[in-house]
Amino acid sequence: MKLHAAAILLIFWLGMFTVHKVKGSAGSQPMRKFSCVDLSTRQLNIRNLVSYRKQQVPVNATVFITTKGIKICVNSNQKWVQTAMKKIDQKHAIKGK
């Protein structure tokens, strides 16, 4: 009887350890960054943009973030995109002072 109880306890303990390890492994995986695969062709209203970041893989793009937190991918080589990035940089420079 003692052997039977010990076996059940061992199986229970191994089951709990396995569940804990699986949860820990999955939870510790880094979140994948937002990545552009398609580019918008529309010119955006610069007043609605709060920040940006550049991306090179899988496509060369600028990712603008709007006041509502929406991420929009555009072609970095467009003139209005360069102007928008400069305006955003200026806003951040003023806030930083």
Range of the domain at 18: 1-30
**Same domain (yes/no): 23, 57:** no
Q: 20 and 61 share a domain?
A: no
Neighbours of 16 (CB within 10 A): 10
Strands 61-66 and 71-74: antiparallel
Tell me the backbone φ, ψ of residue 48, rounded to 5 degrees.
-90, 0
Domain contains 41: no
Task: Tell me the per-residue pLDDT of 11-50, one tens digit each, with 9 for 90 and over.
Answer: 655 565 444 444 444 444 555 577 898 999 999 999 999 9
pLDDT value at residue 9: 58
Same domain, yes or no: 84 and 54: yes
Q: Would you say residue 85 lies in a domain?
A: yes
Are both 88 and 53 inside the same structural domain? yes
Q: How buried is 66 (Cβ within 10 angstroms: 0-12 exposed, 13-18 middle, 19+ buried)?
A: middle
Q: Tell me, what CATH number does 51's domain have?
A: 2.40.50.40
- The verdict on residue 2 lying in a domain is yes
Q: pLDDT tens, 40-70?
A: 999 999 999 999 999 988 899 999 999 999 9
**Distance (Å, rounded) from C-alpha 5 to C-alpha 92?**
66
